[in-house]
Amino acid sequence: MSAVSDPATASPAASLFRRNLATFAENRLAVASAAILLGFVVMAVFAPWIAPQDPNETDLFRRLQPPAWMPGGEWAYLLGCDALGRDIFSRIIYGARISIFIGTVVVAVATVIGILAGLAAGYLRGWVDTLISRLIDILLGFPYLIFAIGLMAMMGPGLVNIILALVYKEWVIPARVVRGETLAVRELEYVEAARALGASRFHIMIREIMPNVLSAVLVVATIRMADVIILEASLSFLGLGVQPPTASWGSMVADGRAFILEAWWVSTFPGLAILTLVLVINVASQGLRDAFDPRFHE
Amino acid sequence: MTVSEPLIRVESLVKHYGGRRSLMDRLAGRPAISIRALNGVSFTVARGETLGLIGESGCGKSTLGRAVLRLHEPTAGRVTFDGADVTALSPAELKAMRRDMQIIFQDPYASLNPRRTVAEIVGLPLKLHNLAKSGREARDKVAAIMERVGLKAAHLDRYPHQFSGGQRQRIGIARALISNPRFIVCDEPVSALDVSIQAQIIKLLIELKRELGLTYLFVSHDISVIGYLSDRVAVMYLGEIVEMGPVERVLQSPRHPYTQSLLSAVPDVDSPGLRKRVKLTGDLPSPQAPPPGCKFHTRCPLAVERCRTDVPVVRTVGEGHTAACHFAEELVQG
């Protein structure tokens, strides 16, 4: 109320955003996680300039060479080499590209589909809702990984197919969130006001309801990113993911499985990379949720 | 009584909610639930008139306001606006007609989209009905209407949360007025406001009506508000109008026991203790299973055997004054 009398210089939407951002900044753990996450993204984007070696160059003389600090290690090959003598550190850097790319694309595509499906189901109701909701129920009935394995087996491996296989089920999650939010928002008087003014259903869904469900679904999207990265790693581990020699953390873990006792570093370092990335995404998105979703305040 | 055709004519309007079962309901064996919100409501509103609609919460008065505008599709009955059958309009015709019939909502917090600026909210009707040739013209029109309802045009780019409840209600009024409507449903427009602000908004609504020649259907549960700004009053109970007439007649000499009990609940400052208090017992019966006969008999202090079985017909008890009670002729409060 006091804001009305004083001439606010900043636009109010920006000020709300800034307030939320300040809340986020107070959460040190979340900020640290976000910083590490940013590090991963930079690593992925600038991989060719950061990686000390060619990730796909094999060297049989360096077969299962241990990490630099162990006897027989070399500082040029920081984390050692795999069974084909490829530099693990460089492969982890390049592998970040696959994980982050697939995580981002899958979640982005799934979120767009989910928002549209959720809005349609929640606002139009009737047979549209029945159709979408039953489809969601059916998809939720399948275990995620088994479903993806089945699809990959049908479509064959490859980057585009992984994305498709994961999107097929991933859209269900944002769709459910948006449908629920839409059911609540559609009953509010401003939606009725828009109808009373003669607004079309499309206008009401996109212009009136969507902006008000967006924050909830974006928070969900960041959390889902971590799960999608694990799923991609799982598929690659099972040999259904990106094809060799392209480096993917999941397939690197699989590569080292046979030598886990004599050359533990081959599986362990890519495994740690998956763990770290997923952990920082989860912690950062928790912080984001606490700061930006008002329902979690207090 | 009326020289010209009334602006709004509502005939036997019925609105039932639910009743239709989906396939899933049938499979799950859920019974059909039907809520009878409106049961054959008829009235007219003359040009330039304010019809006050009063009743307890849950009696169907808000549903009536929305059904008249076809925001809620009526189950049966007819609404005519200036001779045109609103209930028979195609979606495109209905959209065009929305310019002429508007609504002001109760909750000034829920009725404005928190993510839109005031310029966008108030300017929406201009956009939807192509009432402005340019963005510049739209902005000028919004600014003009903002100043007319007592807001600063400089606040155009603010968001609803930066305004107080009373200011937000003014924004809602500006939005309803910008397309130059002739008829406005005011759905408890002051119930959510502080008493001091209620008076300002009521004053504004009266001014606007006089200036722009508006016709109001004013829904409220507050007798003093209704008494202050209505020309005629309709009293609703369980989806039916039980009494209707000129405001002074209905409020001075009510002929329905329900109206009498509503009026006796208003504290009388001038002569405390002098007026007979007609106490109502029990709650509003469920509109899912309304009582037979006169719907009010379960709570009526005067109910006799006949009221439990016979539905009272609406009778005229004075000039333009009707009541639906078996004893309306005898019920003169003294």
**pLDDT tens-digit readout, B275-312:** 566 777 777 788 788 888 898 988 888 888 888 888 99
Interface membership of B159 toward A (CB under 8 Å): yes
Mutation target vs A (from B115, B121, B155; most A CBs, 10 A cutoff): B115
* CATH class of the domain defined by B8-100+181-241: alpha beta
For A261, the 3-state DSSP assignment is coil
Does A147 score more than 50 pLDDT? Answer: yes
Does A64 score more than 70 pLDDT? Answer: yes
- Prediction pTM value: 0.82
Does A3 score more than 60 pLDDT? Answer: no
More confident residue, A215 or B239: B239
Average pLDDT, chain A: 88
Interface membership of B129 toward A (CB under 8 Å): yes
A185-219 pLDDT per residue, tens: 998 999 999 999 999 999 999 999 999 888 889 88
Could you give phi then psi for residue A165, rounded to 5 degrees? -60, -35
pLDDT at B334: 45
- Side-by-side strand order, sheet with B50-54: B101-104, B183-187, B215-220, B50-54, B232-237, B240-246, B321-323, B315-318
pLDDT at B69: 93
Q: What number does CATH give the domain A23-296?
A: 1.10.3720.10
Residue A237 confidence class, pLDDT cut points 50, 70, 90 = very high
Interface membership of B81 toward A (CB under 8 Å): no
Interface membership of B60 toward A (CB under 8 Å): no
For residues A62 and A64, what is the distance between their CA atoms, to the nearest angstrom? 6
pLDDT at B304: 87
pLDDT at B270: 62
Average pLDDT, chain B: 88
Amino acid at B72: H
Give the number of other Cβ atoms within 10 Å of residue B18's Cβ. Answer: 12
Domain boundaries, chain B: 8-100+181-241
pLDDT at A60: 87
Amino acid at B107: D
Sequence-separated (6 or more) residues with CB below 8 Å from residue B254: B243, B260, B263, B323, B331, B333
Q: Select, from the ranges B85-94, B260-269, B293-302, the one with the highest average predicted confidence (pLDDT).
A: B85-94
pLDDT at B287: 79
Does A51 score more than 70 pLDDT? Answer: yes
For B233, the 3-state DSSP assignment is strand
For the purposes of burial, counting CB atoms within 10 Å of the CB of A58, is it exposed (0-12), middle (13-18) or buried (19 or more)? middle
- Write the residue in B71, B95, B163 that is nearest to A4 by C-beta: B163
Give B162's contacts in chain A (Cβ within 8 Å). Answer: 3-4, 8, 12
Amino acid at B56: E
Domain boundaries, chain A: 23-296
Does B315 score more than 70 pLDDT? Answer: yes
| Contact between chains at B124 and A195 (C-beta distance less than 8 A) | no
Give B113's contacts in chain A (Cβ within 8 Å). Answer: 190, 194, 208, 211-212
Nearest CA in chain A to B177: A197
Q: Which long-range contacts (CB under 8 A, 24 or more apart) does B24-30 make?
A: B24/A130
Interface membership of A212 toward B (CB under 8 Å): yes
pLDDT at A2: 39
| Contact between chains at A199 and B128 (C-beta distance less than 8 A) | yes
| Contact between chains at A198 and B102 (C-beta distance less than 8 A) | no
A21-33 pLDDT per residue, tens: 888 888 889 999 9
Mutation target vs B (from A197, A207, A215; most B CBs, 10 A cutoff): A197
Give the number of other Cβ atoms within 10 Å of residue B316's Cβ. Answer: 12
For residues A270 and A276, what is the distance between their CA atoms, to the nearest angstrom? 10
Give A212's contacts in chain B (Cβ within 8 Å). Answer: 113-115
| Contact between chains at B159 and A12 (C-beta distance less than 8 A) | yes
Does A270 score more than 70 pLDDT? Answer: yes
% of chain B exceeding 90 in pLDDT? 53
Task: Examine the predicted complex and report whether its ipTM is higher than 0.90.
Answer: no
Nearest CA in chain B to A208: B113
